[in-house]
Structure 1
Amino acid sequence: MRAADLDVQGVSWAPAKSALPVLHSTTFSVAAGRVLGVVGPNGAGKSTLLRLLYRFQKPHSGQVRVGGQDLWSMTARDSAKRIAAVLQEQVSAFGLTVREIVRLGRTPHVSGFATTGIGSEQVIDTVLEKLSLRSLADRDFGTLSGGERQRVMVARALAQEPQVLILDEPTNHLDVRHQLEVVSLIRSLGLTIVVSLHDLNTANGVCDDVLVLKDGHPQGYGRPETLLTDTLVSNTFCVNARREHLAPSGASHFSFTLPN
C-alpha cells in the first residue's frame, strides 16, 4: 500500500439545491502519509465532509482529487481501490469470522463471480498480522470486544489496499484502553488518513494537521499546535478553553469550563 496526496478544492453539499448547505465551500490538501484531523461540535459538518471524500455523496460544488485524479472521474470500483472508509456503524456479523469480514475488503479487486485468489489471501494474512488479529482470525466477529471489532474494521479497509483511509470517529464508544490502541494504530499505518474526532486532545496528539468546522463553515486549517488557540477552540465549541503545557514532556493538553 502506498499513500497518495488528497486535494480538496471548494467542496460543498446540501440535501437539495434549494436547501441551505450543510457544508459550505471547504478547501484543504493532505500530503501523502500525513494524518488530518477534522474536529468540531455536533452538527459541524464533519461526517458530511467525510462522505464526500469516500464518494458516498457527490459534492454540489468543488472537486476531490486523489493522487491528482478526480475521484468522480473514476469508476466506483477504481475509487474503492484508492479510498477506504471505517464508519461509526459497524457491519452486522451474520455469523462471519474475522477472516471473512476482512476478506470483504478484497471485493474491489475481484471480478465477476471470482473468489479471492492466492494473492488476495496473502494480503489478508499480512493485514491480520499487522493489526495483531491472526489469533482471532477464526473467531465469530460478534464475540469480539469493541476495540477488537474496531481493529477488524480497519483491517477490512486495509485489505482494499487503499491510498487514503477515512475514519469517522474511530474512538467513539470505546473505553480508554481501546481508544489508546486505536490512536496508536492510526499513527502506525503510514497511509494518508483523514479522521474525524470529538476529542481535541486526541487530535492534538495524533494529527499532523487539523481542519476545524463549525455550522458547516471552515474555521481554520493547519498544524494543531499553532491552529488550535484558546480563542479559536473557545469560539468553535462555545466553552472557555485553555491549553496547558505539561512538564517535563512539554506536551499540551486542553482544559475546558463553561462560560459564565
Structure 2
Amino acid sequence: MRAADLEVYNVSWAPTKSAQPVLHPTTFRVAAGRVLGVVGPNGAGKSTLLRLLYRFQQPKTGYVRVGGQDIWSMPARNAARRIAAVLQEQASAFGLTVREIVRLGRTPHRSGFATSGAGDEQVVDRVLTTLSLRSLADRDFGTLSGGERQRVMVARALAQDPQVLILDEPTNHLDVRHQLEVVSLIQSLGLTIVVSLHDLNMASGVCDDVLILKNGQPQGFGPPQSLLTDTLVSDTFRVDARREHLASNGASHFSFTLPN
C-alpha cells in the first residue's frame, strides 16, 4: 500500500440544479500519509463530502484528485484501486467468514468474473496479519463483536490496496476500548486518510489536520492545535467550549457546557 496526495478543489453538491447546496464550495489538500479529520454538527455536510471523495456522488463543481488524477476521469474500477471507504452501515454478511469478506476487497483488481488468485490471497493474508485477524479468519462475521467487525471492514478496504482511505464515523456505536483500538489502527496505517468524527478530542489526538463544516459551509482548515479555538468550536457547535491544557503531557482537552 502506498499513500498519495488528495487534492479537493471547489467541490460542492446539491440534489438538483435548482436546490440549495448541501455542500458549498470546499477546497483543501491532504499530503500523502497525513490524516484529515472532518468535524461538524449533525447536518453539516460531512457524509456528503465523503461521498464525493469515494466517488459515490459526482461534485456539481470542482474536482477531486488522487495523485494528481481526477477520480472522475478514470473508470470506476481504477478509482476503486486508489480509494477505499469504510462506512457506518455494515451490510449483512449472509454467512460469510472474515476471510471471505476481506477477499471482497480484491474485486477491483480482478478481470471480469475471475476468481481470486495466489496474489490476491497473499494480500488477504497480509491484511489479516496486519489487523490481527488471522485467528478470526474462519469465523462467521455475524458472530463478531462491534470492534472486531469494524476491524474486518477496515481490512476489506485495505485489501483494495488503496492510496486513500475514507472512514465515516469509524468509532460510532463502539465502547471505549474498541474506540481506542480503532484510533490506534488509524495511526498505524501510514495511508492518506480522511475520517469524519464527532469527538473533537479524538480528532485533536489522531488527525494532522482538521476541516470544520457547518451547514455545508467550510469554517476552517488546518492543524487542530491552532484551528480548534474556543470561539470557533463554540460558534460551530452552539455550545460554550473551553480548551484545557494538561500540564502532565502538554495535550489539551475540550470541555463543553450549554450556553446560558
The interval holding the TM-score normalised by the smaller chain is over 0.9
Query: Aligned runs of 1:190-229 on 2, under 5 Å?
Result: 190-229=190-229
Q: Deviations over 1:217-246 (max 9, x none)?
A: 000000000000000000000000000011
Q: Deviations over 1:70-123 (max 9, x none)?
A: 010010000000000000001211000000000000000011121010000000
Q: Distance in 1 between matches of 2:157 and 2:27?
A: 25
Q: Distance in 1 between matches of 2:226 and 2:195?
A: 19
Q: Which amino acid aligns with 2:187?
A: R
Corresponding residue of 1:73: 73
Q: Deviations over 1:139-192 (max 9, x none)?
A: 000000000000000000000000000000000000000000000000000000
TM-score, length-scaled by structure 1: 1.00
* Deviation at residue 29 of structure 1 after TM alignment: 0.1
Alignment pair present for 1:89 and 2:89 = yes
Q: Distance in 2 between matches of 1:247 and 1:142?
A: 44
Q: Which amino acid aligns with 1:24?
A: H
Corresponding residue of 1:105: 105
Query: Aligned runs of 1:67-216 on 2, under 5 Å?
Result: 67-216=67-216
Q: CA RMSD in A?
A: 0.4
SS in 2 for 1:127: helix
Alignment pair present for 1:245 and 2:245 = yes
Corresponding residue of 2:233: 233
Query: Aligned runs of 1:38-77 on 2, under 5 Å?
Result: 38-77=38-77
Corresponding residue of 2:22: 22
SS in 1 for 2:79: helix
Q: Distance in 2 between matches of 1:16 and 1:121?
A: 43
Q: Distance in 2 between matches of 1:114 and 1:232?
A: 52
Q: Distance in 1 between matches of 2:163 and 2:139?
A: 28
* Deviation at residue 214 of structure 1 after TM alignment: 0.1
Q: Distance in 2 between matches of 1:17 and 1:135?
A: 51
Q: Which amino acid aligns with 2:137?
A: A
Which consecutive aligned stretches of 4+ in structure 1 deviate over 2 angstroms post-superposition?
Answer: none
- Equivalenced residue count is 260
Q: Distance in 2 between matches of 1:153 and 1:54?
A: 15
Q: Which amino acid aligns with 1:65?
A: R
Name structure 2 gaps, 5 residues minimum. none
Corresponding residue of 2:3: 3
Q: Distance in 2 between matches of 1:84 and 1:90?
A: 15
Q: Distance in 1 between matches of 2:157 and 2:32?
A: 18
SS in 1 for 2:72: helix
Q: Distance in 2 between matches of 1:114 and 1:46?
A: 36
Q: Distance in 1 between matches of 2:6 and 2:213?
A: 18
Q: Deviations over 1:196-226 (max 9, x none)?
A: 0000000000000000000000000000000
Query: Aligned runs of 1:28-39 on 2, under 5 Å?
Result: 28-39=28-39
